[in-house]
Amino acid sequence: MNYSIRGQQIEVTEALREYVNKKLSRLDKYFDAPLTSDGYVTLSVVRGLHVVEVTIPLTGVVLRAEDRSDDMYASIDAVVDKLERQIRKHKTKINRKFRQEGSLKTLFVENTAGNGNVATMDEIDTDEDLELVRTKRFNFKPMDVEEAILQMNMVGHNFFVFSNIDTQEINVVYKRNDGKYGLIEKE
């Protein structure tokens, strides 16, 4: 997989670039075939903290992780660990679902090669005049509520819009302040 590495308020040295590529290459073992999509890595320094953000868009899922620490290399290590946990969690969830349905064990790579597009939305930034500054359009992949919650957690957002496979309606799952989840359905 190719990674676009950029720095904000920091120069990306060749040593940093090599370290990021070396660490992110650990993720290749989770996929049978080389990934064709490009990943995005942003290295920045905010208020003395070294911030690393990694986004890997795949078909059907977006892997995203962020970490802040006093050391850039420690942040890179932590982000890779977070991404590995996300992949393992998603792979386990998918395999469990297919085993319950009586089919053979399915590998994570087969799920990411599906024909559905991920249905996530970035927060829309507005100013005090309520000016609309961004519009996004998505093809919604039909999924159950549990899978929507998993997708929401993987992209790191507090809500997720999806097409409910049971009702054929557009629904929203969201994370509540008490740590539990809510579902918004049409009446």
Tell me, yes or no, whether 140 and 96 share the same domain: no
Cβ atoms of residues 159 and 173 within 8 Å: yes
Same domain, 129 and 38: no
Per-residue model confidence as pLDDT tens digits over 135-161? 877 778 889 999 899 888 888 888 999
Boundaries of domain holding 129: 116-187
Pair (8, 53) in one structural domain: yes
- Structurally, the chain folds into a number of domains equal to 2
Contact in structure between 37 and 57 (CB atoms under 8 Å) = yes
Same domain, 76 and 142: no
CA dihedral 152, 154, 156, 162 (to 10 degrees): -20
Mean pLDDT over 41-66 rounds to 86
Q: Of 162 and 35, which is predicted with more confidence?
A: 162
Residues 110, 122, single domain; the answer is no
> How far lies 91's CA from each of 22, 44, 85, 86, 147, in Å?
23, 30, 10, 8, 12
pTM of the complete model beyond 0.75: no
- The SS3 call for residue 42 is strand
Are residue 19 and residue 97 in the same domain, yes or no?
yes
120-129 confidence digits (pLDDT tens): 333 333 334 5
CATH of the domain at 167: 3.30.505.50
Same domain, yes or no, for 22 and 110?
A: yes
For residues 62 and 106, state if they share a domain. Answer: yes
Domain final residue pick, 62, 97, 115 = 115
**Is the model's pLDDT at 32 over the cut of 70?**
no
